[in-house]
């Protein structure tokens, strides 16, 4: 069944979410904080250390939940996460309570499939202030060719110079088993039989886990490890990551943040066309 273009501009239902320090600590470990040397990044992995507990900026991507508009239906077995963006307008509290609302911004014809672009506003429940805005692109295989617009392009290009920073992180063979506890229980990342049926030889790492590792790298390389300086991040998912894979994040600093991409150990790009901005000049 073809995707109904009449839903462009439609909003989903409002959802309410709460989280505690336990959730933010788990997320930090799930995206590699403290791996290899537990004495590092204690501000993200502990709540009772002298450094004080802080929250990784990309946690907002799992903390805020949203629902599609009533009546909008797609075949979830053919859907892939194509890209992700978030913008922070304030610090994420260790214990939080928010309301989230999604809207469909566009449905684009990519030939072999359709790209559904959404935005989710995340509002602090008590104050009513906008805390963050999330953007996501979902690619639905087999739903293209309807003659629609292809969608905007951003003109991203790799700088013609060596990266200013290269950060390398090893993922664990059990990384997906840890990350799934943050909320994404898709068996593609844990069940070998399901993974084979989906066309993979074994379970793969969550794309959003790779995204979280990359956000950690940007926090340390560009924002001086200070979450209050982290403004926004965008990346396009280009290749699945195998469990136990080594990730290399290449960072080119810009006047207001950085351009980046994430590679696997074979040299293939797994997150491309990356942009990151700072919330305040350093």
Instruction: Show which residues are catalytic.
Output: 184, 189
Task: Return the number of other C-beta atoms located less than 10 Å from residue 17's C-beta.
Answer: 17
For 98, phi then psi, to 5°, come to -135, 165
In terms of Cβ atoms closer than 10 Å to its own Cβ (0-12, 13-18, 19+), residue 173 is exposed
CA dihedral 141, 143, 147, 148 (to 10 degrees): -80
Instruction: Quickly list H helices, the chain.
Output: 21-30, 42-45, 60-63, 175-179, 192-197, 207-222
Cβ pair 115, 82 in contact under 8 A? yes
CA distance 153 to 210: 23
By the 8 A CB rule, do 148 and 188 touch?
no
**Cβ-proximal residues to 160 (8 Å cutoff; 6+ apart), any chain:** none
79-107 in b/e burial notation, b at 16+ Cβ within 10 A? beebbbbbbbeeebebebebbbbbbbbbb
**Which residues share a beta bridge with 175?**
none
């Amino acid at each position: 069944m073809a995707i109904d273009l009449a839903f462009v501009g439609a909003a989903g239902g409002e959802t309410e979410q709460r989280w505690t320090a336990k959730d933010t600590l788990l997320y930090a470990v799930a995206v590699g904080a403290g791996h290899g040397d537990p004495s590092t990044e204690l501000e993200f992995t502990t709540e009772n250390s002298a450094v004080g507990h802080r929250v990784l900026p990309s946690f907002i991507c799992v903390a805020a939940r949203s629902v599609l508009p009533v009546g909008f239906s797609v075949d979830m077995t053919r859907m892939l996460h194509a890209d992700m963006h978030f913008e922070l307008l304030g610090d994420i509290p260790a214990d939080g309570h928010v309301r989230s609302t999604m809207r469909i911004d566009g449905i684009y014809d990519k030939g072999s499939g359709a790209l559904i672009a959404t935005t989710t506003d995340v509002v602090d429940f008590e104050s009513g202030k906008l805390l963050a805005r999330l953007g996501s692109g979902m690619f639905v295989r087999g739903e293209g060719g309807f003659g629609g617009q292809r969608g905007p392009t951003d003109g991203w290009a790799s700088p013609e110079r060596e990266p200013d920073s290269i950060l390398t992180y090893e993922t664990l063979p059990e990384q997906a088993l840890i990350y799934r506890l943050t909320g994404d229980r898709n068996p593609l990342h844990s069940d070998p039989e399901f993974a084979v049926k989906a066309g993979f030889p074994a379970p793969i790492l969550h794309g959003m886990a790779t995204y979280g590792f990359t956000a950690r790298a940007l926090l340390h390389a560009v924002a001086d490890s200070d979450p209050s300086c982290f403004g926004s991040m965008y990346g396009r998912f280009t290749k699945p990551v195998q469990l136990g894979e080594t990730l290399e994040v290449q960072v080119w600093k810009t006047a207001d943040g950085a351009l980046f991409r994430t590679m696997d150990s074979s040299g293939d790009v797994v997150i491309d066309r990356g942009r990151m901005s700072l919330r305040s000049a350093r």
